[in-house]
């Protein structure tokens, strides 16, 4: 059963194999961007509360705020770039070298390879004097936390919103951390007021594109195997 406020009408021009990449990523992205008060995520871990505006169907003026998205080519990361951009937030994305153009397609104003030896300096320079909100780390591994904390330290603090429990060590006092819990009523207004029309207008794109593994339940195991091996800028889909 699906709640009415967690659904939208898929325009007839968009096949289901494309549309299916949207829902879970959308919940995750809204939870990363628009929660206003930290709430429970898991024992001892609160959700982040970046309190950023919802995406708009209009071309909104820039808020002057900058958000860094680490893992911009992931499902959660690329949707966060799309929604933040549609809310007037300037996004700087970190992704693999092969996906820098992809994250720009999602709306990032600048994109850097997370393996670049000078990536921290480049990100700090790109943030410049804008109002820095913090980092959404869609990957949330020890090595990504290291880079996050280096940027946040240089910027004098900010949010570190994670998809897994945030780091506990070497976190400066002026850095606020949290882990998203990607199902929240906070996303309902986005489903209600944004998704259908944004899909129709092409403002919301079904990204990353799907890779269809096959048709039928017998392909689920193969999909799980491929998922475990890791994917890059795609969503694995089994058609039924």
Residue 151 Cα distances to 77, 89, 125, angstroms: 18, 18, 10
Q: Which is nearer to ligand NAP, 9 or 141 (CB)?
A: 141
- Residue 206 as a binder of ligand NAP (CB under 6 A): the answer is no
The stretch near ligand NAP (CB under 6 A) out of 50-58, 166-174, 218-226, 230-238 is: 230-238
Single out the residue of 10, 95, 133, 151 in contact with ligand NAP (rule: CB under 6 A): 95
- Residue 232 as a binder of ligand NAP (CB under 6 A): the answer is yes
- Residue 34 as a binder of ligand NAP (CB under 6 A): the answer is no
Single out the residue of 114, 132, 145, 219 in contact with ligand NAP (rule: CB under 6 A): 114
Site for ligand NAP in 141-180 (CB under 6 A): 141, 143-144, 163, 179-180
- Residue 225 as a binder of ligand NAP (CB under 6 A): the answer is no
- Residue 28 as a binder of ligand NAP (CB under 6 A): the answer is yes
The stretch near ligand NAP (CB under 6 A) out of 72-80, 85-93, 127-135, 209-217 is: 72-80
Single out the residue of 66, 82, 99, 177 in contact with ligand NAP (rule: CB under 6 A): 99
Applying CB under 6 A, the residues found at the interface with ligand NAP are: 28, 71, 73-77, 95-96, 99, 114, 138-139, 141, 143-144, 163, 179-182, 230-233
């Amino acid at each position: 059963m699906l709640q009415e406020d967690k659904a939208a009408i898929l325009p007839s021009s968009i096949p289901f194999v494309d549309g299916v990449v949207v829902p879970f990523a959308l919940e995750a992205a809204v939870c990363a961007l628009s929660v206003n008060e930290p709430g429970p995520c898991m024992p001892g871990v609160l959700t982040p509360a970046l309190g950023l505006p919802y995406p708009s169907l209009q071309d909104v003026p820039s808020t002057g705020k900058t958000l860094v998205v680490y893992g911009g080519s992931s499902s959660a990361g690329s949707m966060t770039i799309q929604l933040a951009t549609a809310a007037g937030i300037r996004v700087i994305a970190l992704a693999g070298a092969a996906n820098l153009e992809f994250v720009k397609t999602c709306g990032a104003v600048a994109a850097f390879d997370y393996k670049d030896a000078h990536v921290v300096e480049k990100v700090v320079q790109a943030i410049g004097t804008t109002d820095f909100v913090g980092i959404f780390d869609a990957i949330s591994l020890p090595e990504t936390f290291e880079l996050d904390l280096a940027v946040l330290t240089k910027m004098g603090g900010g949010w570190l919103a994670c998809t897994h429990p945030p780091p506990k060590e070497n976190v400066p006092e002026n850095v606020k951390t949290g882990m998203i819990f990607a199902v929240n009523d906070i996303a309902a207004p986005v489903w209600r007021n944004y998704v259908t029309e944004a899909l129709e207008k092409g403002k919301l794109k079904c990204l990353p594109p799907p890779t269809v593994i096959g048709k039928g339940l017998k392909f689920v195991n193969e999909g799980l195997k491929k998922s475990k091996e890791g994917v890059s800028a795609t969503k694995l889909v089994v058609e039924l």
